Structures are given as C-alpha cells and as structure tokens.
Structure 1
Amino acid sequence: MDVPQMSEGMFTTLEEKIGSWWEDCLKDEMAKAAAEERRLAVERGDFHEGVPAITVVCDGGWSKRTHKHSYNAFGGVGVIFGAATQKLLYMGVRNKQCVICNKAESENKTPKLHNCYKNWNESSQAMEADIILCGFLEAESSHGLRYTRIIADGDSSVYAQLQENVPVWGRDIVKMECANHTCKCV
C-alpha cells in the first residue's frame, strides 16, 4: 500500500497527548455530573450535616476473570456513578506492573524515563475497595457531596472499608444490594 509508517516515538508522543486530552475531558465531564447530582440533592432537600447527600452506584473489576480463586490480576478498575443522573462521578485504576520497569529489571538496568503506571503493591483483592474508598474520600473536597447511600454488589470488604475509613459520615453510609447481583445469588 506504500503508506509510510509512524515511528514508535511519534506514536508514543501522540498516544500521550491524546491520553492527556481524554483525561482532561473525563475530569470535566465528572465535575459536571457531580454538579448536577449536587443540584438535584439540594432540590430534594437531601443533606447530611448540611452537606448535599446522594446515592451512588459502585463496582469494580479486574484485568483477569476469576471467580473465588486465583486472585492475582495485575490491574483493576473501580467506578462510582450518581444514581440520579446515571453519570460517572469517579474512576480509578490500580496497576501492579509496568512493562518498561519489568523489562529494565529483567535486564538489570535502570528504567528509562517514562510515565510509569504502576501504582499498587498490595493484593489484587484489595484494589476495588481501595479505589472506591478514594472516590468517597475525595467526594466532599472535590464536589461538595457526601455519598451516603451505596448500591453495590455483595462485596462486603468495600462497605467495611468505607465505614471504617471515611471520616465524619462513614458510619452513616447505608448499603443497598444491587438487584442484579441479588437475583444472581438466589
């Protein structure tokens, strides 16, 4: 076809630019969604100690499908959606490995300067709870909201982490089981 190829360096540069642009757009959209959730909470008169309070839907996933065995995924993601708007309020990612760092380590070299995405050293099982907890911890400072009701699957570790580690309103969080997960368990 005689189409010139893009060099690896050019591809990486463009990938980083587009990734940065997408991240900025995502943050902007999440801020707009949170503002809408906040407005709706105020209109409903839904407050916790004077701070607008909302219901959120939370879930997480891993890079590798397993069920009740082999909890060794290298990456995981968690999301928080506003129940009223059904829009994304928070997203987090945990990675246990970085290809560039791993290659350098296998060659006993210092890794070249790069954007390292490794941000997790604990168990794969703890990824989801940590991501959701971070979203709850940032809710009030970032959006002026408190997530006081959570719709989620039967994962009790997330709920326990929230109750123990979210200051001020953590003990007041109410968990509601997701109807889909409840039906699957029956």
Structure 2
Amino acid sequence: GTIATGIGFTQLAELTASIDIPCMTAKIYLKYNTIVGADIKSSAWDEMRLAGMEEKRLALELGDIDEDGIPMCPVIADGQWSKRNYKTKYDALSGAVSNEINNIV
C-alpha cells in the first residue's frame, strides 16, 4: 500500500498511530519495501517487454517497417506535474506535456 500511494515509513507510522495500530519498525519496513519494490520492478519490466513484442508483431503485420526492415512503433509520452504550495504561498503551478516521438533508434 505504501508504494502504490507514494508514502514512506514516517507516513505509515503516523497513519497507524492515528488509528491506534502498532507499526512495524523502520528496519522491517525497509526490508519488505525492498523486496516488494524489486518484485514490482521485475513485473513492470516483464510487462513492458511483452508490450514491446506485441507492438513489433503488429508493426510487422501492418508492414510498418523502415528501409532496413526494422518495425516502426509509434510512441507517445506525456506527463503532468504540480508545484506544491505547502500551505504558504497558495501559488501552486501545474503543467502538462505531451509529445509524439517519431524516430527512436
């Protein structure tokens, strides 16, 4: 839960204290966070590899290849962010970027 929500040990300790539940030690948290983090990374890489293989297959089926026979796969990247104001200036900035990349070698 802490990895998915982006909180760390301190926030977990505060949360469990607020509902009167004992929290694990920082050492145990770090141990399991490392194990689970490695599993998440491995799973993500596996999924990205499978997605890449599927994109390659689809490009080949459609004949979407370059002059060297390399499959061409469209890639779209985007991102969003917000500057936090921490209850002081109330001037949070936000932004978004979206870009289509046509050639990656």
CA distance in 2, matches of 1:67, 1:22: 29
Q: Which residue of 2 aligns with 1:91?
A: none
The two structures have a TM-score, normalised by structure 2, of 0.58
Percent identical pairs in the alignment equals: 32
* Residues 18-57 of structure 1: pairs in structure 2 closer than 5 A: 18-49=36-67, 50-57=69-76
Change (3 A) 1:58 1:48: same
Q: Which residue of 1 aligns with 2:35?
A: 17
* Bigger relative contact order, structure 1 or 2 (CA pairs below 8 A, ≥6 apart): 1
Q: Which residue of 2 aligns with 1:66?
A: 93
CA distance in 2, matches of 1:15, 1:67: 30
Change (3 A) 1:67 1:18: closer
CA distance in 1, matches of 2:21, 2:79: 41
| Structure 1: stretches of 5+ with no match in the other structure | 69-151, 168-186
Superposed displacement of residue 58, structure 1: 1.3
Structure 1 runs of 4+ with >6 Å offset = none
Per-residue CA deviation, residues 98-119 of structure 1 (Å, 9 max, x unaligned), is: xxxxxxxxxxxxxxxxxxxxxx
| Structure 2: stretches of 5+ with no match in the other structure | 1-18, 84-91
Superposed displacement of residue 3, structure 1: 5.5
Change (3 A) 1:43 1:12: same
Superposed displacement of residue 61, structure 1: 2.8
How many residues align structurally? Answer: 78
Q: Determine if contact 2:81/2:94 at 8 Å carries over to the other structure.
A: no
Give, as a single letter, the amino acid of the residue that structure 2 aligns with 1:61: Q
